[in-house]
Amino acid sequence: MTITLDDVLAGQFIENGHINYGPDGSGWPMQHTTIPRLSCIDRIYKGPALKKAGVSFERLWCVDGAQVANLEAAIVALNVPPVFTHEERAVLEHAPADWVELIGFRERVATETGLRVGAALTGLREKGAIENELRTGEGRAVPCIRRALIEGASA
């Protein structure tokens, strides 16, 4: 399936954290709701950074966790399958189709493979191969993951 500008515009971005650049400003990582490989950082400049940048706001586009030049470059990159590292492929082989608790999964896979699972999970999420969310647990929300149920998420 070819991703187009219309596909990007049909979805929305949801806030996925906060970045504090200190006196230079702040930013909000955002992830696309229907194209998980697409993200951006909405960056607000202030202080010395504002003078250097010459703007107060900038949207930085990312695909698979790597910054690209602009939205047009992002669309081009989205139409190329993600490239998985050896570690990401090894961790993805263990990712279940059903939701499991993140901490138990991460510890089990790290013990079985000897890999740095945290970094691999970040890459897999940025490349749309796994999903993560807070799921209801005993009296609290529990971070959970599963293999993404989307096209192109196999290793």
Distance in angstroms (rounded) separating the CA atoms of residues 98 and 90: 18
Statement: residue 152 has pLDDT above 80: no
Is the per-residue pLDDT at 17 higher than 60?
yes
Mean pLDDT throughout 71-76?
A: 98
Q: Where are the beta strands (DSSP E) in the chain?
A: 13-15, 19-20, 25-32, 38-45, 57-63, 66-67, 100-101, 130-136, 141-147
**The pLDDT value given to residue 130:** 95
Distance separating alpha carbons of residues 10 and 4, to the nearest angstrom: 10
Nearest to 38 by CA among 57, 18, 11, 56: 11
Cα separation, 131 vs 147, in Å, equals: 6
Identify the structural domains of the chain with CATH numbers, from first to last.
Answer: 5-78 (no CATH), 86-147 (1.10.10)
Task: Of 135, 137, 105, give the one whose Cα is nearest residue 121.
Answer: 105
Q: What is the mean pLDDT of the chain?
A: 91
